[in-house]
């Protein structure tokens, strides 16, 4: 059976985006016309993932409101928008004890099914109609993997911001992962292949999470749970982003500004004007 369930963890504090995130979740910041989290939900819907669980926390209620039916804004019936066929569920993480802890809240929702995880602060854009998640789900099922993870190449100075893979042999478009390290120092990093915010898991990941100790920050890391999976004898497969697939991470202001500019420049109605405006501005500096 195909995979239809997805989990979006949105419980992070967003401290790197203060004061913009003082009273609103970072996932609700707009890039171009839509809040970040809407792009994520659209990506999941496009991949056939119709049952979505949000793992939320304090100050995240506006996400629920955003996907609600809103008659004042012209929604005539609960079924009249492009995302209305989706079933959305919400659960609150009690304490912010890491991404692994957040994902562990999905255990009952998932049951015996494999499922996808998409981090709510990262948008994946593709130049073609290929879907990264569909590709990952196909490979996951073909390989009978415990986990299938998206990776992108990053510069050496950025390996400390991500989970980094040690591939088994040469890393092609998809590859087996031998080990993973969360946020290594450049000198400890086994490669420059960084976890790119999309995952597919077999439910065995919950057992791996239970067997995994907290990491350096005292939080339960999903990266460490995948290392446990490998030790349990399950395969972890990496899938590389293609050249035309781009990941926008909205964790800090630099990447947020870049994402906003890219989306504004490509806006079908205003993109042209924004390009002209920017040309003018750039002449001034």
Stretch that binds ligand G1P, among 42-50, 67-75, 193-201, 275-283 (CB under 6 A): 193-201
CB of 89 to ligand G1P, least distance (A): 22
Query: Which value, to the nearest 10 degrees, does the dihedral of the CA atoms of residues 68, 101, 199, 43 take?
Result: 10
Q: Which residues 51-110 are close enough to bind ligand G1P by CB under 6 A?
A: 99
Q: Taking Cα atoms as reference points, which of 122, 132, 151 lies closest to residue 8?
A: 122
177 scored as a contact of ligand G1P (CB under 6 A): no
- The residue among 145 and 193 lying less far from ligand G1P, judged by its C-beta, is 193
CB of 75 to ligand G1P, least distance (A): 32
Strands 147-153 and 236-240: parallel
Q: Give the count of beta carbons closer than 10 Å to the beta carbon of residue 103.
A: 25
Q: Give the count of beta carbons closer than 10 Å to the beta carbon of residue 240.
A: 20
Q: How far apart are CA 267 and CA 66, in angstroms?
A: 21
CB of 256 to ligand G1P, least distance (A): 13
119 scored as a contact of ligand G1P (CB under 6 A): yes
What values do phi and psi take at 193, rounded to 5?
-90, 110
User: Using CB under 6 A as the criterion, what x/- string covers residues 197-236 for binding ligand G1P?
Assistant: x-----------------------x-x-------------
CB of 277 to ligand G1P, least distance (A): 31
Stretch that binds ligand G1P, among 24-32, 41-49, 132-140, 194-202 (CB under 6 A): 194-202
CB of 161 to ligand G1P, least distance (A): 7
Q: Which residues 238-267 are close enough to bind ligand G1P by CB under 6 A?
A: 249, 251
Q: Taking Cα atoms as reference points, which of 15, 17, 21, 102 lies closest to residue 54?
A: 102
Q: Taking Cα atoms as reference points, which of 247, 223, 210, 16 lies closest to residue 99?
A: 223
Judged on CB neighbours under 10 Å (0-12, 13-18, 19+), 182 is buried
Stretch that binds ligand G1P, among 30-38, 43-51, 189-197, 269-277 (CB under 6 A): 189-197
The residues near 279 (Cβ < 8 Å, ≥ 6 apart) are none
- How is residue 154 annotated by DSSP? -
CB of 12 to ligand G1P, least distance (A): 6
For the chain, the residue count is: 285
Q: Under rule CB under 6 A, how many of the chain's residues touch ligand G1P?
A: 13
165 scored as a contact of ligand G1P (CB under 6 A): no
CB of 180 to ligand G1P, least distance (A): 8
Residues that bind ligand G1P (CB under 6 A): 99, 119, 122, 162-163, 182, 194-195, 197, 221, 223, 249, 251
């Amino acid at each position: 059976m195909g995979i239809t369930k997805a989990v979006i963890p949105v419980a992070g504090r967003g401290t790197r985006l203060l004061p913009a995130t003082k009273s609103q979740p970072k996932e609700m910041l707009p890039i171009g016309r839509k809040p970040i989290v809407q792009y994520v939900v659209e990506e999941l819907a496009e991949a056939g993932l119709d049952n979505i669980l949000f793992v939320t926390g304090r100050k995240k209620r506006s996400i629920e409101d955003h996907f609600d039916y809103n008659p004042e804004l012209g929604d005539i019936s609960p079924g009249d928008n492009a995302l209305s066929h989706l079933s959305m569920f919400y659960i609150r993480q009690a304490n912010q004890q890491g991404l692994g802890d957040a994902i562990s809240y999905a255990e009952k929702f998932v049951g015996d099914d494999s499922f996808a995880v998409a981090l709510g602060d990262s948008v994946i854009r593709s130049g073609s109609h290929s879907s990264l998640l569909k590709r990952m789900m196909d490979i996951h099922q073909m390989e009978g993997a415990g986990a299938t993870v998206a990776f992108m190449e990053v510069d050496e100075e950025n390996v400390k911001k991500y989970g980094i893979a040690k591939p088994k042999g040469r890393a092609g478009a998809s590859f087996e992962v031998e080990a993973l390290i969360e946020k290594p120092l450049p000198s400890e990093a086994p490669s420059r292949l960084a976890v790119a915010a999309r995952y597919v898991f077999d439910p065995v990941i919950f057992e791996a999470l239970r067997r995994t100790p907290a990491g350096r920050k005292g939080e339960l890391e999903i990266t460490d749970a995948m290392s446990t999976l490998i030790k349990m004898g399950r395969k972890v497969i990496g899938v590389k982003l293609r050249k035309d697939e781009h990941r926008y991470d909205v964790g800090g202001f630099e990447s947020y500004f870049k994402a906003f500019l890219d989306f504004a420049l490509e806006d079908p109605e205003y993109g042209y004007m924004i390009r002209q405006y920017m040309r003018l501005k750039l002449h001034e500096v």
